[in-house]
Chain A
Amino acid sequence: MKTKAAILWERNTPWSVEEIELDPPKAGEVLVKLAASGMCHSDEHLVTGDLAGATPEPPLIGGHEGAGVVMEVGDGVFSLQPGDHVVFGFVPACGRCPSCADGHSNLCDMGSLTATGLQITDGTSRHHVGGKDLTLGIGNLGTFAYHTVVNEASCIKIDPDLPLDKACLLGCGVVTGWGSAVYAADVQPGDTVAVVGVGGIGANAVQGAKLAGARVIAAIDPVEFKREKAMEFGATHSHSSVEEALGALAETTWDRGFDKVIMTTGVGNGDVLGEAFHLGGKRSKIVVTNIHPTAEQSIAIPAVFLTVFEKQLIGSLFGSGNPRKDIPRLLELYTQGQLDLDGLVTRTYSLDEINQGYADMNDGKNIRGVLIYD
Chain B
Amino acid sequence: MKSRAALLHGLGQEWQIQDVEVDPPKAGEVIVEWKAAGLCHSDEHLITGDMVPPEEAWPLMGIEEFWPVIGGHEGAGVIAEVGPGVTSVAVGDHVSASFVPSCGKCRYCSTGRQNLCDAGAGAFLKGMSTDGTTRHHLADGSGDPMLFAKLGTFSQYSCVSVDQVIKVDTDLPLEAVALVSCGVATGWGSATNRAAVATGDTVVVVGIGGIGINAVQGAAMAGARQVIAVDPVEFKREKAMEFGATQTFTSMEEAFPAVMEMTEGMMADKVIMTPGVMYGDLMALGTQLAGKGGTIVVTGVAPITQTESSVNLFELAMWNKEIKGTIFGSLNPRADIPKLLNLYRDGQLKLDELITSRYTLDEINTGYQAMRDGENIRGVVVHG
- A-to-B contact residues, CB < 8 Å: 182, 188-190, 208, 211-213, 215, 236, 329-330, 332-333, 336, 338
Contact = CB atoms under 8 A, between A and B. Distances in A.
A211 B102 CA distance: 31
B109 to A, nearest CB: 18
Contact of B339 (A182, A190, A332, A336): A190
A336 B199 CA distance: 13
A208 B199 contact: yes
B223 A338 contact: yes
A189 B222 contact: yes
A109 B240 CA distance: 46
Interface of B: 188, 192, 198-200, 218, 221-223, 225, 339-340, 342-343, 346, 348
Nearest to A332: B225
B225 A190 contact: no
Contact of B225 (A188, A212, A236, A333): A333
A143 to B, nearest CB: 26
A337 to B, nearest CB: 10
A301 B342 CA distance: 31
B225 A215 contact: no
Residue among B200, B339, B343 with the highest chain A CB neighbour number at 10 A: B200
Residue among B218, B221, B223 with the highest chain A CB neighbour number at 10 A: B223
Residue among B198, B225, B343, B346 with the highest chain A CB neighbour number at 10 A: B225
A212 B339 contact: no
For chain A, what secondary structure do more than half of its interface residues adopt (helix, strand, loop), or is it mixed?
loop
B192 A213 contact: yes
A213 B225 CA distance: 13
Contacts of A188: 192, 222
Given A211-B199, A213-B192, A332-B200, A190 B223 contact: no
A213 B199 CA distance: 9
Contacts of A330: 200
B222 to A, nearest CB: 5
Nearest to A335: B225
Contact of A189 (B200, B221, B225, B346): B221
Contacts of B188: 189
Contacts of B225: 332-333, 336, 338
Contacts of A332: 200, 225
Contacts of A333: 199-200, 225
Given A213-B192, A213-B223, A215-B342, A189 B199 contact: no
A183 B50 CA distance: 41
Contacts of B222: 188-189, 212-213
A190 B342 contact: yes
Nearest to B336: A190
6 contacts: A189-B222, A189-B343, A236-B346, A333-B200, A333-B225, A338-B223
A188 B343 CA distance: 13
Given A332-B225, A336-B225, A190 B343 contact: yes
Nearest to B197: A189
Contacts of A213: 192, 221-223, 348
A134 to B, nearest CB: 38
A192 B210 CA distance: 27
A333 B200 CA distance: 7
B71 to A, nearest CB: 31
A330 B348 CA distance: 23
B223 A215 contact: no
A349 B157 CA distance: 71
Contacts of A190: 192, 339-340, 342-343
Contacts of B223: 182, 211-213, 338
A354 B218 CA distance: 45
Contacts of B348: 213, 215
A182 B199 CA distance: 7
A190 B223 CA distance: 12
A250 to B, nearest CB: 14
B200 A215 contact: no
A213 B346 CA distance: 12
Given A213-B192, A215-B348, 14 more contacts: A182-B223, A190-B339, A190-B340, A190-B342, A190-B343, A208-B199, A211-B199, A211-B223, A213-B221, A215-B346, A236-B346, A332-B200, A333-B199, A338-B225
A244 B225 CA distance: 35
Residue among B198, B221, B343 with the highest chain A CB neighbour number at 10 A: B221
A182 B218 CA distance: 16
A212 B225 CA distance: 11
A157 B343 CA distance: 39
Contacts of B342: 190, 215
Nearest first, the 8 closest Cβ-Cβ pairs linking A and B are A211-B223, A213-B221, A189-B192, A189-B221, A329-B200, A211-B199, A190-B339, A212-B223
Contacts of B343: 189-190, 215
A212 B199 contact: yes
Nearest to A254: B342
Contacts of B218: 189
A51 B340 CA distance: 44
A336 B348 CA distance: 21
B239 to A, nearest CB: 20
A215 B341 CA distance: 11
A182 B222 CA distance: 10
A329 B198 CA distance: 12
Contacts of A215: 342-343, 346, 348
A332 B199 CA distance: 11
A208 B340 CA distance: 21
Contacts of B192: 188-190, 213
Residue among A189, A333, A336 with the highest chain B CB neighbour number at 10 A: A189
Contacts of A182: 198-199, 223
Nearest to A336: B225
B148 to A, nearest CB: 29
A336 B200 CA distance: 10
A208 B223 CA distance: 9
Nearest to A330: B200
A208 B192 CA distance: 16
A215 B221 CA distance: 10
B335 to A, nearest CB: 10
A211 B343 CA distance: 15
Nearest to A216: B346
A190 B200 CA distance: 18
Nearest to B348: A215
Contacts of B346: 215, 236
A236 B221 CA distance: 15
